[in-house]
Structure 1
Amino acid sequence: MRSGILLQRCPACEKTWAFPRERCPDCGGAPESFEASGRATLFSATVVTRAPDETFRALAPYRIALADLEEGPRIMAHLSAEAPIGAPLTGRVEEIAGRPIPLFKPA
């Protein structure tokens, strides 16, 4: 299964990050993009009851998580079900409210 979660890493210093950049934030090297495994650990989670716009208000309440990806970076994502902190997760990018958003579920 493909996750669709894209990351970047620097071949020179081996730093990995989630947000696209033209240069490595550590050494200035040219990054390469790759797809994350989709495996993560739950760092934190909350339930959103007051959504930021009309599109997401139709989905409220919904869970948001901070997930520590197996590859290193921590990302914000939607969470499909309640899970304890430290729980293993699996995820992929799905269309939510017309936008591509990482969605994780307990493994």
Structure 2
Amino acid sequence: MAKVTFIDAKGVRREVEAPEGWSVMEAAVKNDVAGIDADCGGACACATCHVYVDPAFKGKLPPKEEMEETMLDFAQEVTPRSRLSCQIKVTAELDGLVVTVPKDQR
């Protein structure tokens, strides 16, 4: 199990445990983390699981694939730290991952 911390738009932190192989989006949905809508269920067909990855973990993530880049075009307030949480697989190396949930997931 890896720990993932979600920080909401108000700065409230919520730590959850996620088995390796789950996506960060699955960890959020299964733990009722507010702000991760995941409308497409993890199919990389929307941007409602958009998060900002803590800079300390950026180098530990695989690069964005073309589909994720395309879907991020639909997200609000995209930054270089933006990722779709459905595309981040939980691994032992990501134990302690911190992501911030945007204020809006339209």
The bucket for the TM-score relative to the shorter chain is under 0.3
More strand by share: 1
**More helix per residue:** 2
Q: TM-score, normalised by structure 2?
A: 0.25
What TM-score, normalized to structure 1? 0.24
Q: Looking at CA atoms only, which structure, 1 or 2, has the larger radius of gyration?
A: 1
